[in-house]
Structure 1
Amino acid sequence: MSDNKNILDIDENLRLLGTAHVSKTSVDLVREQINEYKPDIVAVELCESRLAALKKPEGIDNEDLLKIISEGKSAMIILQSALSVQQRKMGISSGEKPGAELLEAINLADELKIPVELIDRDVVVTLRRAWRKMGFREKIRVITSLLDGDEDDDFDLEELLEDSDLLSSMMEDVYKIAPNAGHVLIDERDLFLSGRIQQIRGKGKILAVVGAGHISGIQMNLKKPTIETTSKLPELRKQPKKPSWPKYLMLAIPILLISAVLWSGIKGDFSTVWDSALIWLALNSLLTGIGIIIARGHPLSVIAGALASPITSLNPSLAAGWFAGYTQLKVSPPTGKDASDFLEFPSFYSMFFKNKAGRVIMVTSLGNLGSTAGTFLAAGLISSGLI
């Protein structure tokens, strides 16, 4: 067995290899271990979608943008992209693209005719579970942390790989910032990776290439009975259900307000009706417009979002940001270069505010955020005037 702390032999037929996803040393180590250990199976911390992205990095085209807008995925894309930016910054400084060592493991295994097993959970499921489990404050802390461009927090990746205490400290920081997200991104995936490894044990010598931060968790879970880990895989694969209360709340607000305003009209208090209508129109339009302006949206997108907001706020199945995003897509369509460059920018600001494809997503997201804020603020002011 190697003296390297990130090479761990569980038994004679299972070796865990911990890597940093943006380290050139990890790429070399993967190559070395496959040639030295001569596994019958190479298990890799990837899912099908992440593997496809590594093999054929693509940008985001107009059809993708329409899907993001219509399915309300703009916030999720922003979170995923912010994570990618942070990882890419580390990769740029180390001279490697994120996931280079995982791709090297697969390419070398294919070259040597060694079967490959993808053992990670689908990244979309992971992100959705993390997003749903986080509370509002936790989401704000995560986004603020991801967007913090402090360059003074630089560290040596190779030192990180060698220093288990430093690695543990960084993992603990994740839990401090976002305990619920940390549970999904680390604990759940440790369990999932362990379960998948257990499923393929007994088929020969296995070299499992995983992020160094997962080594201790996988080792702990592998000590449990096989049935205990593998039986939890179906539950861990489940997409989280959307909570129903936000939909009912957004439906209840306009119903209650319209009912109250109509009652005022029936009583002949038309000044209250007029004031309520003005407050609703003004706050919904104003805050939606401000959100789109912050996103550097086209003036026509600002107008589209502002006009749509008072109406969409009365209908939970619609969103002002969709109209603004669609308008932005039409009046300032991303070029082929914008699409291909979207996932290559080294900063969050460049990705979403300088790139036309990213700007469509940001216009949609901030337009929706402004509309939601306008709805609640207007509802509060109108209610206080009616009571």
Structure 2
Amino acid sequence: MLDPMNNWTNMSYNEIYRGLRYLKIKKRQTRPNLQSTISELVTEDGCKVYLVGTVHFSRESVRDVQQIIQQVQPDAVVIELCQDRKLLLTLDEQTLLNEAKECDLYKMQKAMNQFGVMPALWLMVFLKLSAYVTEQLGIAPGGEFRKAFREAQKIPFCNIYFGDRPIFITLNRCAATLSFWKLVKMFLGVLCLNSQSVPVGKEIMEQIKQKGMLEQTIKTATEEFPEFHRIFISERDVYLTHSLKQAARPIVLPQISQSDPQQVIPSVVVGVVGIGHVAGIKKNWNRQLNIQELMRVPNPSLPTRILRFVFGVTLYGLKIFFYYKIAQTLIWLFD
């Protein structure tokens, strides 16, 4: 045991490590107060995962995340972000509010250069949705992830994992699977949001956390866009489950002396995911998972290739027209 009165300079690393971990476990609540949106999952090794289902624009979800992390003092926190979106954790709320509201041609072109035409269109759809809800509620998305990141940093020996599939792969799989006309239908529907009086009140956002309303919303989305649901929800359910299981592994404590027996303790993990993924993670929890197929980027569909060609020709034509008008103006000025 680590005695705070001891001189740490006379202690080995293993002694300090085991002592701090002991104090952490002593502070951990074995029977935490679980909100209705938090589920407890257990691995075959006895490791526990506290799965928090959140609404991305909900302050209540931020409080749920903070409370469960403080109560269970986890060894790892897994968040529903990928490495490409980790910048979301470091930006302040006001910057995120401004970013969500500003979706201009420059950002569109930058996204197309990075991801491709069709994935960039999908990305613009989500940015538009995010900007709309942000404007309605005045809350930047991802607050629960930022809170999880900050709380995890306060806990000794707590690792932070990005548990989501890379967004580049998700967008490309979506672009290669969905038909062009379904993309246009959804894209136009999102573009019309600002012209419709569709309030997104805080009460509605909190109601989404209720199981009945959530299941009905998912059912409607599945019937309308089954391919979208498979790629953005079902496949990521499997990937997130895999990430949670990878994080929830027994911890091997270091030996203070060679004569000490090797001790292994079950780990405690907190997973922070959108509430729409909770049911799928539970369903996949006890299954053998293979994520290799989920990481494959299929060849783009024919409509995608046609759209990419048309867009490229159009963009090239617009550039030529732009340079022509500049040249025409210069000739007029100096003639």
What TM-score comes out, normalization by structure 1 length?
0.59
The whole-number CA distance in structure 1 between the counterparts of 2:133 and 2:295 is 29
CA–CA distance in structure 2, aligned partners of residues 71 and 318 of structure 1: 15
Matches within 5 A, 1:236-247: 236-243=294-301
The CA deviation at 1:66 is: 6.0
* Counterparts in 2 of 1:209 and 1:135: CA distance versus 1, 3 Å: same
1:241: Cα distance to partner? Answer: 1.9
Distance 1:92 1:322, change over 3 A: closer
1-side partners of 2:178 and 2:155: how far apart? Answer: 43
Residues 1:8 and 2:1 are matched in the alignment: no
Mapping for residues 213-362 of structure 1, pairs under 5 Å: 213-224=276-287, 228-229=288-289, 232-243=290-301, 319-324=312-317, 326=319
Q: Does 1:139 align with 2:183?
A: yes
Partner of 1:342: none
Partner of 2:230: 183
Matches within 5 A, 1:52-71: 52-56=87-91
Seen in structure 2, the aligned counterparts of structure 1 residues 328 and 54 have a Cα distance that, compared at 3 Å, is farther
After superposition, the Cα gap between the structure-2 partners of 1:331 and 1:124, relative to the gap in structure 1 and judged at 3 Å, is farther
Question: How far did 1:61 drift?
Answer: 10
Are the counterparts in 2 of residues 41 and 115 from structure 1 also a CA contact under 8 Å? Answer: yes
> 1:196-207 alignment to 2 at 5 Å?
196-203=243-250, 204-207=267-270
Name 1:103's counterpart in structure 2: 146
Tell me the distance in 1 between the aligned counterparts of 2:235 and 2:133: 24
Shift of 1:3: 5.5
Amino acid at match of 1:134: L
Distance 1:109 1:328 in 2: 53
Q: Structure 1 residues 118 and 329 mapped into 2: Cα distance closer, same or farther (>3 Å)? A: farther
* Aligned Cα root-mean-square deviation (Å): 3.3
| Letter of the structure 2 residue corresponding to residue 5 of structure 1 | S
- Per-residue CA shift, 1:76-99, capped at 9, x if unaligned? 323212212213332343342111
The answer to whether residue 204 in structure 2 is matched with residue 169 in structure 1 is no
**Counterpart Cα distance in 2 of 1:317 and 1:152:** 34
Q: Give 3-state SS (helix, strand or coil) of 1:206's partner.
A: strand
Unmatched segments (≥5 aa) in structure 2? 1-31, 251-266, 326-335
Q: CA deviation at 1:43?
A: 0.7
Q: Normalising by structure 2, what TM-score?
A: 0.68
Which residue matches 1:160?
Answer: 208
In the TM superposition, what is the alpha-carbon distance from 1:13 to its structure 2 partner?
1.3
Q: Aligned letter for 1:122?
A: P
Q: Hey, what does 2:69 align to over in structure 1?
A: 34
Q: Is the 8 A contact 1:82 1:146 kept in 2?
A: yes
Question: Are residues 96 and 320 of structure 1, via their aligned partners in 2, closer, same or farther at CA, if it must alter by over 3 Å?
Answer: same
- Preserved contact between residue 103 and residue 127 of structure 2 (Cα < 8 Å): no
Alignment counterpart, residue 126 of structure 1, candidates 170, 174, 184: 170
Gaps of 5+ in 1: 251-312, 333-387
Q: CA deviation at 1:330?
A: 7.3
Q: Percent identity?
A: 21
**Structure 1 residues 331 and 86: CA distance shift in structure 2, 3 A:** farther
Q: Tell me the distance in 1 between the aligned counterparts of 2:300 and 2:162.
A: 28
Alpha carbons of structure 1 residues 133 and 3: separation in structure 2 relative to 1, 3 Å:
same
Equivalent residue number for residue 4 of structure 2: none
Residues in 1 aligned to 2:232 and 2:109: alpha-carbon distance in whole angstroms? 28
The question of whether the paired residues in 1 share the 8 Å contact of 2:179 and 2:303 is answered with: no
Distance of 1:75 and 1:2 partners within structure 2: 44
- 1:1-42 CA deviation, whole Å, 9 max, x = no partner? 545221001136111001011111111111111101211111
| CA shift for structure 1 position 138 | 2.2
Structure number with higher relative contact order (C-alpha < 8 Å, ≥ 6 residues apart): 2
Paired residues of 1:141 and 1:178 also in contact (CA < 8 A): no
User: 1:24–1:95: 8 Å Cα contact kept in structure 2?
Assistant: no
Q: Given the superposition, is the C-alpha separation of residues 216 and 71 from structure 1 closer, same or farther in structure 2, using an over 3 Å criterion? A: closer
Written as runs of structure 1 = structure 2, the 5 A alignment for 1:42-57 is: 42-56=77-91
Secondary structure (helix, strand or coil) at the match of 1:151 reads coil
Please tell me the residue identity of whatever aligns with 2:65. V
Q: Aligned equivalents of 1:90 and 1:317: distance in 2?
A: 32
Question: Aligned partners of 2:115 and 2:315: how far apart in 1?
Answer: 8
Sort the Cα spacing of 1:153 and 1:138 in 2 relative to 1 into closer, same or farther, 3 A: farther
Distance 2:115 2:39 in 1: 43
- Cα offset for 1:123? 1.2
Q: Are the aligned partners of 2:164 and 2:240 in contact in 1 as well (CA < 8 Å)?
A: yes
